[in-house]
Structure 1
Amino acid sequence: MARVTARRSIVRIDTSTGQQSRRPDSLAAEEPLEIRVDHSALAVTMRTPGNDIDLALGFLLTEGIIGSDDDVHTAQLCAGTDTPNTYNVVDVKLTPGVPPPVTDPSRNFYTTSSCGVCGKASIDAVRTRSRFAVDQDSAKIEASTLVTLPDTLRKAQRTFEATGGLHAAGLFTTDGQLVVIREDVGRHNAVDKVVGWGLRERRLPLDGHVLLVSGRASFELVQKASMAGIPIIAAVSAPSTLAVELADEVGLTVVGFLRGSTMNVYTRPDRIG
């Protein structure tokens, strides 16, 4: 099984005392994952190993390649060609009759851990239409409940506790219960892992839920929430202009700067009690 963290000897410097000391430190693992569809390579993403099947399924759903668990015949983690085997390949076999991915030279599916839509030729190329109408979701959450979610998410981040270097995405009910959490060096990967879990558990659309992300609310995260049918996305940091514009377009609620007792609601404030 691939490692999630690794230990490394470092030199710690304290400028207040002028002392240096050597000590072990834990680092979050980052390795490439190749996603194949019907044995053909489709995408490579840099991720933290773990929940790789969920990551691949979530990626395929949020890119509009599949729409439900019924579109997937099998999904398996493969050894690849590395020595020793690193299991950095997921091969997804589509159900007979499901159209294969269309190769489009304007779309570059290589992504880094910091950017989910890098290489896409235009914003229009990633405005994938969701099968789920989030604007019709009447989910509401009390502001007093919403402000408790970051602490709940933080306490559930086991790998972050050891490394301090991972993003997290958590799916919550509107009464503040944590349903699932995923961690990754890439915030978009963490969200894909949550979405892939929902698809594999046959729980899509994820209506009536709140998605909380540990960083900022970028365009691709709002798109992924829309594709999964999640009506509310909250972030501890800022949203981008494109994220807010897309949320306005699809009727999704965006909450930013969710810290302490305050928050900023950028779209659909009627969902926040």
Structure 2
Amino acid sequence: MSVINVPVTKVNNADCLETSDALAIEEPMEIRLEYKVDDELKNQSVSVTMRTPGNDAELAAGFLFTEGIVGSAGDIANIDHCFIACAENKENVIQVKLKEGIAPDLKNTGRNFYTTSSCGVCGKGSIDAIRTVGSFIVQNEDLISADSELLYTLPDILLGHQRIFGETGGLHASALFSLDGELLLVREDVGRHNALDKLIGAALKQGILPLDNHILLLSGRASFELVQKAVMAGIKIIAAVGAPSSLAVELAAEFNVTLAGFLRNRRFNIYTAGRRILFPVHEGSN
């Protein structure tokens, strides 16, 4: 269940109405890793994130991949809720079992992550710990492009597929489009980073990484963490309805990612690698 109805008093000037309101559910989810080191079975909690229930396995897979803890879907043997070993909150604990011989890369996770719904990098010790190096080398990346007229249409397409946002008005979304504007995947969550991890986790499961021939649309602002996760998935074009942060622009430039912000009402700003966005040629222009 992703939505709950609660009693509310709606005030309009001096008029009050006792009714109910739909809210997006926010609950903690713990990600646990199970793996072997020198024939010794290890069970380790690596993250607690505040999220909207749903697509939990994708969220766990996407988080582990975008944080560089696992290198591919092939590292994972099984992902499921911890129904057997967990006495309480079974639906809020995800157990990720790695394949025999696979050890997770935990060098940047000496302490457990605690991730709020608003910030996916809170508590990390330094920029070096979160500047995860992308695992994909994209060939012919300068041949990748998107039409400006197509970009204008994407926010409305996404809005039409934000089911929970339509009920609550309180969720972020990440959407994956083809370069021709076909909507391929949408994931929602109270945390913008969780929505993107769910999206990348779904793509990881489908075996379609790297996502270089795609456009990532973010329903809100573009933060450093979201650009970092996109880089990990090989994405080269990011468009956001909201503003980017200074560090997001810096990271996009570093990894040659096209980053556009304020995409709405047939307007947007291009911050990095603008050559990938194509504009119509008007008569009389050079």
Partner of 2:3: 5
Instruction: Select the residue among 195, 199, 202 that pairs with 1:194.
Output: 199
How much does 1:77 deviate? 1.6
Alignment of 1:137-152 (within 5 A): 137=141, 138-152=143-157
State the Cα distance separating 1:134 from its structure 2 match: 4.6
Which segment is superposed worse, 71-80 or 162-171? 71-80
SS at match of 1:87: helix
- Match of 1:211, SS state, is strand
Q: 1:135 to 1:115 in 2, by over 3 A?
A: farther
2:133 to 129, 132, 149: 129
Q: Across the two proteins, how many residue pairs are aligned to each other? A: 267
Say what the alpha-carbon RMSD is for the aligned residues: 1.4
Maintained 8 Å contact 2:236/2:258: yes
1:16-53 CA-partner distances (Å, limit 9, x unpaired): xx111100110000000000110321100000000000
Q: Distance in 2 between matches of 1:36 and 1:105?
A: 13
Q: 5+ residue gaps in structure 2?
A: 35-42, 279-286
- Between 1:108-117 and 1:188-197, the stretch displaced more is 108-117
Structure 2: how far apart are the matches of 1:258 and 1:217? 11
Q: CA deviation at 1:106?
A: 6.1
Equivalent of 1:27 in 23, 27, 31 = 23
Cα 1:12/1:46, change in 2 over 3 Å: same
**Which has the higher Rg, Structure 1 or Structure 2?**
2
In structure 2, what residue type is equivalent to 1:20?
A: C
The answer to whether residue 212 in structure 2 is matched with residue 207 in structure 1 is yes
Shift of 1:249: 0.7
CA distance in 2, matches of 1:136, 1:6: 47
Shift in Å, 1:205: 0.8
Structure 2: distance between partners of 1:4 and 1:194: 17
Q: What is the TM-score when the length of structure 1 is the normalising length? A: 0.94
Which residue of 89, 92, 96 corresponds with 2:96? Answer: 92
3-state SS of the aligned residue for 2:160?
helix
Report how far residue 73 of structure 1 moved: 1.1
Structure 1 range deviating more: 44-53 or 63-72: 63-72
Moved over 3 A (4+): 103-108
For 1:165 and 1:33, the matched residues in 2 are separated by 19
Contact 1:134–1:250, Cα closer than 8 Å, also in 2? no
Which amino acid is 2:53 matched to? P
